[in-house]
Structure formats: structure tokens, C-alpha cells
Structure 1
Amino acid sequence: MADGGDEPDEAEELSGRQKAEIAKWFLANAPAGEIHYVAKDVRSILGDDGIYEMAAAEAYPVYNKAHLIALQMPDRSGDVLITAYGELDKNNYFDPRTAQVATVDHVKQVCINVRPASDEELPSPYIDEFRGTLADELSKYVGETYPKGTCAVYCISGKDAEGPGADFEFVIVISAAKYSPQNFCNGRWQSIWNVDFKDDPQLVEIKGKILVGSHYFEEGNVHLDAKNEFKDSTIFQSPEDCAASITNIICHIETEFMASLEASYVHLPDTTFKDLRRKLPVTRTLFPWHNTLQFSLTRDITRELEIGQ
């Protein structure tokens, strides 16, 4: 009997490394506040603790830094932000507010130890005066604006300057989150501001970006991802005047950005939701969005029932 043809090859089994890479992608891209829920499902699907732990060890640090999560220190002296600007190595993060270094467990998302920062890890007294004054002003603003917000000011350039005549640069990180899984909604606010102090023109240049992400998943799966970038500048003055001016600029920009988000929600039915509607409905008749006043339920009923005639 003639052979009717070769049987199709069975799909090749993925290697452990390939499975770990796929699992890592799902973990690292989990919505704000939901990585533990994703991890539970991923672990169940894999059915292999070794592969899961390999993926988790790589994904959690990426996720934690991307979401700028804040972890409470064991001595309750405050929260340390998990950010690349304070990263000394994979598990140790510098907290400029308390001048401490926190050791964290990324997978458990807890801070397990703290130690005082060394002299080499700290900026000079001249730089720290600018940094500390700015951090104090920002803390007041963040505390009043974001119910669960955390901020930190890092010196990323020129931290050894001993006095006037030098350029230096700070990075301001503001992170706030609101998790309400019982209401099927989680969200996070992040803003990162590069503040470049230029001595020669006596100018402070400010460049920032704001990222907002939220996830609503009651009987659906709706994501909001908003991002915008900004620029501004102010005069290089005393630490106190610089702190007040920079904080006012950030406050003004972030307030306007939040107002623009709220305005976009008001117009969602006429913009985004309208675009989601099928272009050509089942009736094959396009809905005249440009002139909705021509439709009147009362007029149609009156005409159908011949009322008043």
C-alpha cells in the first residue's frame, strides 16, 4: 500500500530557558500592583518551580525599577525607592533622604536590611545643601498632592563639588500608587525630572517626563497609559530659592497634566468610544455623528402614531 505522505512533525518541546524567558516577559509586563497575581498563574502554568524561580529572579528587579516601587525600611525611618538612580548593585539601593543603603528582596518586595551610606556614596556638603533643601520642598508638595506618594532627589553628576563655580545635576523621582483590586482597579503615577544646574549662565534647566498607568478589569480589560515630556528653566539662585522655584514649576506642570487627563475623560464618549464603534453597522447605515440633533425619539413616536393629526 502506497504511503500517503509523511506525518506532520510534532511541535518541538520548549527548553527550560525558553520557558523562563516567556514567563519573564509576562511577569515584567504585569500591570501596576498585579505582579503577584500574574506570578501565581505563571507558576501554575509552568508546573516547574525551578524554571519559575529562574524567571522571577530576573523579572522582579526589572518590574520593581520600572514601576518605581517604594519599600518600607525595617527601622521604619521611611521608604526607599527602587530606581536605577539609587541602584548600587542588584539588591542594594541608596536612599538620599536618610543617607542609608537598603538591601532588598526583589521577589518578596521587602527591605530586609539597612546600613549607613559611606562617605564615597554621599555628595559633598555644598551639593547636599541644594539637594536636601529641594527634597524638603518636594516632600511637602508630594505629601499634599499624592495620598500615597514618595519622592527622592539623587545627585547624578558633580556630587563632589565643594563650592560655587561647578556644574551639577539632580534627578527628582516622584512615585505614587493606588491599588484597589477588590474594586478591580489599580494605578500608578510616575514623574522623573532632570535638574541641571549650570554655573556659567547661572541657569537651572528642567526636563521631565510623566507616566501614568491604570488597569480596570471588571468584566473586561481596560488599560490607560499616558506619557508626556516637559521642559522649563529658572535662575541659579540660593538653595532655598532654587528649591522653591523648581518645586513650583513641577507643581504647575503636573497640575496642568492632571487637568488635561480629567478633561480627556469628559470627552471619551465623543472621541475614544466613538472610534471603537464599528464604522459600518449591521444596518449598513452610518450614524451621522456630525448632526445628532436630527434624531428625536419624541418626534419619531409622534409621527409613527400620527398624534396630533
Structure 2
Amino acid sequence: MSDGEEKREIAVWFLSNAPAGEIHYVAKDVRALLGDEAVYEAAAAEAFPEHNKAHLVALELPDRSGDIIITTYGELDKNNYLDPRTAQVATVDHIKQKCTKLRPAADEELPSAYIEDFRSALDVELSKYVGEAYPKGVCAVYCTSGKDIEGPGADFRFAAVISAAKRSPQNFCNGNWRSIWTLEFIDGLQLVEIKGKIQVGAHYFEEGNVQLDTNIDCKDSTILQSPEECAVSITNIIRHHESEYLSSLEESYMNLSDATFKDLRRKLPVTRTLFPWHNTLALSLTRDLTKELAIGK
């Protein structure tokens, strides 16, 4: 391996592992340390797209009709992503984290009317939930299999994606909430099987460097009904599991002992003031969790 290739791989690692909302700060330092623009550009071209997809980064659409989530479920190619809600395709500049162009989605990029009834109904209910639960949350529902099905009698799959973030570098903390729910609609059993993965990340870096990176897998199911009834049932299940996970995190942080923080390599400041969880919304994790790291103050 040449010296340039080794430097590129190291740079990719640092960029890819940057905490939520901090990749541009990391990139600035990596660029300066490398001192080689060609190597930096090669590393950035590789790392930024993977980082954006891994963190479900949400970008505002050029026409301000909403936000698009950068996820493999909507990826048409390296730089073009489908927004199923507006039936548009956005061209993304991964390094600048901006949408540069927008076009209507082609018919072959969209699901059939039958599938769209289920998808859009779930999107409506999920949007209501996310709007209530997350101060800066974004969601999307994608058809991942069976998008050309014209009516009952066949199975199809969706992915429901939720992304919420809190960026507060001036207060030395950033964090995000990511949850992906895969939904399998099984026609023969009249059943919807639900699998979820919730990921939470937070970084507190005032006079130290403390990170939280946690996740949990969930399973559930519901009866296959009309699009509207399915949407309500699935959303309620998602709400239940996410609320339950948040409650477990709250309990863990409320019960952390001083000894836990004393064992950290770099200690957080100590004020012995508990974070006021009772004053927050039940699911405002992206706003609160990063602050809760300050429980060690």
C-alpha cells in the first residue's frame, strides 16, 4: 500500500466515524493534517456519502417543500435520492450536505396506486407522530419490495425511517435519534410483521470527550387491514416501542452513580444537579439526551 493510499484510508476512517453533526469540523482538521488536497478529496468523496446515509442526514429540498432523508432506501444512485412523499428526486452534494437539483420522479421510480395507498396512509400517520414526538424530526416511508403490485394477493415490504437531530456545538453537545422499521405485508397470513432498529448517538465535549452510542432491536406484528387501519396500528406500535426504549434510557441515566463518571478517562464537571426530565415531551430524546450527558456535571 502506498503512502497516499494509507493516508486516504486513515482519513476515511476519521471522517466516517465523526459524531453526528460534526463531520465538517473533523474534515477541516483532517484536511489540514493531510496537507494533500488530492488525498483529502478522494477520502471525502468516499466518506461523506457513507456518513450521511449512516446518520440518516435530512436535507431541505430546493423548493422548500420539505426535507429528504439520505438513506439507502431512497438511493437511486450515488447522488440521486427519491423523496416518496413529494414524488421527486433530489440531486445531493454529499460533501456540502445540500440538495442541488430537483426533478419529478419517473413512473418506474414510484409504486403502483395500490401500494401507494398503503405507503401514503402510513406516511401521514407517521408524520403526525414524529411531529408530536420530535422537535426536529423527519420521517419517510419507502416501498422496498413489490412496488409494482396492482392489488391484493401478493406480499410487499416497506421501510419507515425516522431521523431527528439536535445540533448545539456552541454548547459542546450534539446528538441524533435514528430508527428504521421494516414492514412485511404478508397477504396469505393477513399479517404485517414489524422489525425495528433504534439507534441513539450523543456527543458531549466540554472539557472532555464523552460519547453515547446505543441501539436496540424490536419485533412486533399486526393484522393486515385497510391502508388507513394498518397505518394507525403500525404507528401505534412504533410509538409504543420508541416510548418504552426512551423510558429505559431515562431510568438508566437517572440512576447513574457518581462512581460511573469518576471511572471515565476524562471526567465531566460535577454540579450534582439532575436534568429535569419531567419538563420534557415524552419522546424529545434528540433534544434532551445530549443534555442528559451533563448529568455528570
Q: Same fold (TM over 0.5)?
A: yes
User: Which of 72, 97, 117 is equivalent to 1:109?
Assistant: 97
Structure 2 distance, partners of 1:258, 1:210, is 10
Q: Which amino acid aligns with 1:255?
A: S
Task: Tell me the CA shift for residue 273 of structure 1.
Answer: 3.7
Q: Tell me the secondary structure at the aligned position of residue 166 of structure 2.
A: strand
Map 1:96-175 → 2, pairs under 5 A:
96-175=84-163
Greater Rg, structure 1 or structure 2?
1
Q: Which amino acid aligns with 2:25?
A: Y
Task: Tell me the CA shift for residue 272 of structure 1.
Answer: 3.5
Structure 2 distance, partners of 1:198, 1:274, is 51
Q: Which amino acid aligns with 1:55?
A: A
Structure 2 distance, partners of 1:104, 1:165, is 37
Q: Tell me the secondary structure at the aligned position of residue 257 of structure 2.
A: helix
How many residue pairs get aligned? The number is 265
Map 1:1-309 → 2, pairs under 5 A:
15-269=3-257, 272-273=260-261
Q: Which has the higher contact order (CA 8 A, sep 6+)?
A: 2
- Unmatched runs of 5 consecutive residues or more in structure 1: 1-12, 278-309
Q: Tell me the secondary structure at the aligned position of residue 268 of structure 1.
A: coil
Structure 1 distance, partners of 2:69, 2:264, is 38
Task: Tell me the CA shift for residue 268 of structure 1.
Answer: 1.0
Task: Tell me the CA shift for residue 14 of structure 1.
Answer: 5.6
Q: Which amino acid aligns with 1:268?
A: L
Q: Which amino acid aligns with 2:191?
A: L
Structure 2 distance, partners of 1:245, 1:38, is 42
Structure 2 distance, partners of 1:259, 1:271, is 22
Structure 1 distance, partners of 2:205, 2:262, is 21
Task: Tell me the CA shift for residue 146 of structure 1.
Answer: 0.5
Structure 1 distance, partners of 2:220, 2:259, is 31
Deviation string, structure 1 residues 207-261 (Cα, Å, up to 9, x no partner): 0010000000000000111100000000000001000000000001101111111
Structure 2 distance, partners of 1:232, 1:271, is 37
Q: Tell me the secondary structure at the aligned position of residue 104 of structure 1.
A: strand
Task: Tell me the CA shift for residue 51 of structure 1.
Answer: 1.0
The percent identity for this pair of structures is 72
Structure 1 runs of 4+ aligned residues shifted over 3 Å read 270-277
Structure 2 distance, partners of 1:71, 1:95, is 11
Task: Tell me the CA shift for residue 276 of structure 1.
Answer: 5.4
Q: Which amino acid aligns with 1:103?
A: T
Structure 1 distance, partners of 2:19, 2:160, is 23
Structure 2 distance, partners of 1:130, 1:55, is 40
Q: Which amino acid aligns with 1:196?
A: E
Task: Tell me the CA shift for residue 27 of structure 1.
Answer: 0.4
Cα RMSD, aligned residues only:
1.4
> 1:295 is matched with which residue?
none
Deviation string, structure 1 residues 178-209 (Cα, Å, up to 9, x no partner): 01001100000000000110011100110001
Structure 1 distance, partners of 2:188, 2:47, is 43
Deviation string, structure 1 residues 104-154 (Cα, Å, up to 9, x no partner): 000000000010111100000000000000000000000010011100000
Task: Tell me the CA shift for residue 267 of structure 1.
Answer: 1.2
Distance 1:162 1:17, change over 3 A: same
Provide the TM-score with structure 1 as the length reference: 0.84
> 1:302 is matched with which residue?
none
